[in-house]
Structure 1
Amino acid sequence: MNKVSLLLIPALLTAARPGAAQGTVYMLAHMTHAPVTFGESVRKPSPAGVERVYIDRNGDIYPRSINIDAGRLRRAGDLETYYSQRGAQAEFDALKFGYGVTHREFRRAWSAVQDALADQVARSVDAPGPLVVLVHGFNSVAAGPGFAGLEARARDADSSVRFLEVYWDGHAGVLTGTAAAWARSRQNAPRVGETLYGILSRLGKRAPIRIVTHSLGGMVAVHAVWSGPYAGRGLPADLRVGMIVPAIAGKDFPARVQPVPAPSQRMVVVGQNEHDYAISKGGLGARYFGSTTLGRTREDFCTIASRTFQQGTRYTVHRLDFSGTPKVFMSLESHDVVHYARLDAARRLFYLLLRDNGSAAGTSCP
């Protein structure tokens, strides 16, 4: 492969969607990669049946009731830096007042505000019926269209579902900045996962939770459900996770998850596509530059099926073939979640997550 091809690979891996012109211009002006901030998006109303939570690179939740200076936030890169800057005291005082926080010392006050925001998000989705939590992947500055496609599939399986859309700083990059953005997003994902755990652990213990991720969103789910300081303790028993072409490896999971007490039975569904352009790094291979083999190889799937979710943990593990998206480069296929949502495999995914009563046997491995 020549040098020109190698330089083009990061550009081709870029997943920024149309309509993100401001973010793209900002990235080009800042060495082709930058944090993803949500100063403009956070005040937009959510559709009926959908709640949204926005999380920055530190795992901090955006307040949705307070105006944020989007330009200053982009320069700050995260919420804590934004509110701790000189000249932001009045804004932070208003934020504290809005959430009943009285601490004067910044760090204690910031922690209390974050606890209040997690409580607020949990209350907004704590209702009867299944909750589908959607988590996008790396380099996504406008995940809405992809979420909409997945939500349509979920409603086909169960019209009573509600949704929590998780928007997080998966970092964004164009051209040669894509590799740096990828590395930063892998650092951010565990912190976002711990925040998602904090929200879900506040829900009623019988709440049916279904987490559906795309790409590096799989790492967010791993740290929300199985890793992190709490290893998923305290989460609702009725929990199932579906990962569409997870841009992670089996080694990103703990060696063995905590067994679920009987009679609970949990489920993990892994959607793989060996032809996915991004997962295969443009043809270089899934093991390079941060392994993404779980989204591509049956071998990696069988590793987690037999090790992480081994017999006795009370997990059923399924593998689905998600190949068949449009070709984008030679035999390699699109990584876009909009295309994945249109596949019949997506219909099967939501059937397993929302309608299967435990009768479907997991995928067998040698």
Structure 2
Amino acid sequence: MLWILIAGCARPVYYGWEASSNGATTGGDIARLYFDRNGNLYPGADAFLAVDNKRLAKAGADLQDYYQLPAARKEQAAQRLEYERLQAHYGVPLTPSNPADTSVNYPAWRRLQEAMLTQFIARFNQHLRTSRPEVLVVLVHGFNNEVGATRWYPALQREIRTNQFKGRRVQFLEVYWDGRTASGVGLLRIWKQAQATMYPVGLGLRRVLASLDPATPLYLFGHSTGAPLLSVALWNSTSVLGNAKGPRLRNQTYRALVKQPEYATPHAAQVRVAFVAPAMPSLHFMDFAHRTDATGKLFTQAAPDGYQRFVVGQNRHDIATGKGPLSATAFGSTTLGVRKAEYCGDGTTPPRIGVVPLLRQAGSRADTYLFNFTPGMAAAGKRPGHGILEFMADPVTFDHLLDAWLTAKPVAGADACP
């Protein structure tokens, strides 16, 4: 039985056609960003440049290889047209060549990615200044999300618009990333791949969040591996790596990149964070105070910030973060999704020292609340559930969590620590 659970292969998630319709649009109350497994942005929809998913599959789901590897003869005309449109839309020339030649091609690719990022940030900031939303809500899914399968984004948005922000203006930013996907027999096999991917994607998201108007209230929601991805984006989450160098981006490690000025951490005046079914250990919070200013300087104590609140939703029968018959620490620790002690702390050494004590040690004044969905989900027939729609099957607890995350109402239904 164990062999069956870990068998199977992970598959990349290709956002070519979806991003060509929705990517980097900023005209309404929902904006969307699409990242590949290396944190590369897909072109915006207004570039009218669809990424061909079949060609992307040949490139190993890497957008840099997709664009820079010379295409097959029958695809060369399409590739030339792509380059023309890229240069016209982003003002950056690109030519087909071997991406392994980093002295020439990597800088060219980085210039294109910088142009994409700069254009989106400028347009999104202008949109926020014009529309003046009360809050910006950022939604980040976890791994194993096929294209079009993130059905909880619109469901959660409807809930927020109907209840917490009824009749009020709210802006959403949906983040889509290649956290890999697999059928039931291959789920456990892709944990480490998803964990590796969340570092470059987290850094890409960090640059977006750090470039927003700090006066815009920033409310972030991470599900499953979307929770540690947000940790990677918001502070320099390196302790969880142990002695490992960590994933590489731009031919450097995550540890090295977070010390560079371009990866300064976000500094919004008002930040609230919700983690539901977080596939992570509390050890990520060991580095909560470790952030980078605009000069690349590392803060050694809690940096000035607007963190007001962290809320965590657990299902202690969660088959994904609990990993079924295996330990929740197998294939990477996901204990915060299932263990109360991982939130409250149990007085032991890492990795179970707890979100609450770690935030206190960092000098944070943020309120923290834990919501236990276990009884309500079991009563609704969703006992092993992991998905957001399954958590929403316990509407009372879910409403309490949203109120605690989004509003100033007195907090109800939270699970008290000893």
Task: Give TM-score scaled by structure 1 length.
Answer: 0.83
Is 2:321 the counterpart of 1:279?
Answer: yes
Cα distance in 2, alignment partners of residues 143 and 131 from structure 1: 23
| 1:133 and 1:212 in contact (8 A); partners too | yes
Deviation at 1:265, TM superposition (A): 4.4
Which of the numbers 312, 317, 328 marks the counterpart of 1:270?
312
Q: 1:158: which partner in 2?
A: 165
Greater Cα offset, 37-46 or 157-166: 37-46
Q: 1:51 Cα shift? A: 1.0
In structure 2, the partner of 1:147 is 153
Task: Look up the equivalent residue of 1:107 and give its one-letter code.
Answer: Y
The question of 1:245 aligning with 2:277 is answered: yes
Equivalent residues in 2 for 1:1-366, closer than 5 Å: 5-9=1-5, 32-45=9-22, 48-64=28-44, 65=47, 66-76=49-59, 77-87=61-71, 88=79, 90-102=81-93, 105-126=104-125, 127=128, 128=132, 129-141=134-146, 142-155=148-161, 156-159=163-166, 160-227=169-236, 229=258, 233-258=265-290, 259-261=302-304, 264-302=306-344, 303-310=354-361, 312-323=363-374, 324-325=376-377, 332-343=383-394, 344-356=396-408, 365-366=417-418
**Two-structure CA RMSD over aligned residues (Å):** 2.8
Structure-2 change in CA distance of 1:98 and 1:106 (3 Å) = farther
Cα gap change, 1:346/1:363 in structure 2, threshold over 3 Å: closer, same or farther?
A: closer
Distance 1:175 1:103 in 2: 40
Supply the distance in 1 between the matched residues of 2:58 and 2:371 (Cα, whole angstroms): 41
Greater length-normalized contact order (CA 8 Å, ≥ 6 residues apart): 1
The answer as to whether partners of 2:279 and 2:335 remain within 8 angstroms in 1 is yes
Unmatched segments (≥5 aa) in structure 1: 12-30
How much has 1:175 moved relative to structure 2?
A: 4.9
SS at match of 1:325: helix
What secondary structure is seen at the aligned counterpart in 2 of 1:164?
strand
Specify every segment of 5 or more residues in structure 2 that has no aligned partner in the other structure, as ranges.
72-78, 96-103, 238-257, 291-301, 345-353
- Cross-structure match for 2:351: none
> How big is the shift at 1:286?
1.3
Contact kept, 8 Å, 2:235 with 2:287, in 1: the verdict is no
Relative distance call for 1:265 and 1:200 in structure 2 (3 A) is closer
Q: In 1, distance between residues paired with 2:108 and 2:362?
A: 45
Distance apart, 1:40 and its partner CA:
1.8
Residue type of the alignment partner of 1:304: V
CA contact (8 A) 1:240 1:353 kept: yes
Secondary structure of the structure 1 residue equivalent to 2:358: helix
Per-residue CA deviations over 1:3-32 (Å, capped at 9, x if unaligned) read xx3245358xxxxxxxxxxxxxxxxxxx63
8 Å Cα contact 2:143/2:181 also seen in 1: yes
- Output the CA distance in 2 between the equivalents of 1:92 and 1:286: 46
CA contact (8 A) 1:53 1:121 kept: no
Residue aligned with 1:41, SS: helix
Match of 1:27 in 2: none
CA offset digits 1:184-232 (Å, max 9, x no partner): 1110011111111111111001111111011111111010112251686
Which amino acid counterpart does residue 67 of structure 1 have in structure 2?
A
Displacement, 1:307?
1.5
CA contact (8 A) 1:34 1:173 kept: yes
Shift of 1:70: 1.5
The AA in structure 2 aligned to 1:50 is I
Q: Residue 16 of structure 1 corresponds to which residue in structure 2?
A: none
How far 1:320 moved relative to its partner?
Answer: 1.1
Q: CA deviation at 1:360?
A: 5.1
Distance 1:120 1:347, change over 3 A: farther
How far 1:237 moved relative to its partner?
Answer: 2.1
Q: What's the CA shift for 1:67?
A: 1.9
Q: For the residues of structure 1 that align with 2:378 and 2:415, how far apart are their CA atoms?
A: 26
* Rg (Cα) greater in structure: 2
Cα gap change, 1:138 to 1:86, in 2 (>3 Å): same
- 1:162 CA displacement: 1.3
Cα displacement (A) at 1:290: 1.1
| Letter in structure 2 aligned against 1:75 | K
Deviation at 1:102, TM superposition (A): 4.8
Change (3 A) 1:110 1:202: same
Instruction: Report the alpha carbon displacement of residue 312 of structure 1 after superposing the two structures with TM.
Output: 2.4
1:28 corresponds in structure 2 to: none
Task: Please state how far the C-alpha of 1:158 moved relative to its aligned partner.
Answer: 1.0
Q: CA deviation at 1:99?
A: 0.7
Letter in 2 for 1:154: I
User: Aligned partner of 1:350: which letter?
Assistant: L
How far apart, in 2, do the equivalents of 1:204 and 1:317 lie? 25
Distance 1:265 1:337 in 2: 24
1:73 aligned partner, one-letter code: L
Structure 1 counterpart of 2:364, one-letter code? T
TM-score normalised by length of structure 2: 0.74
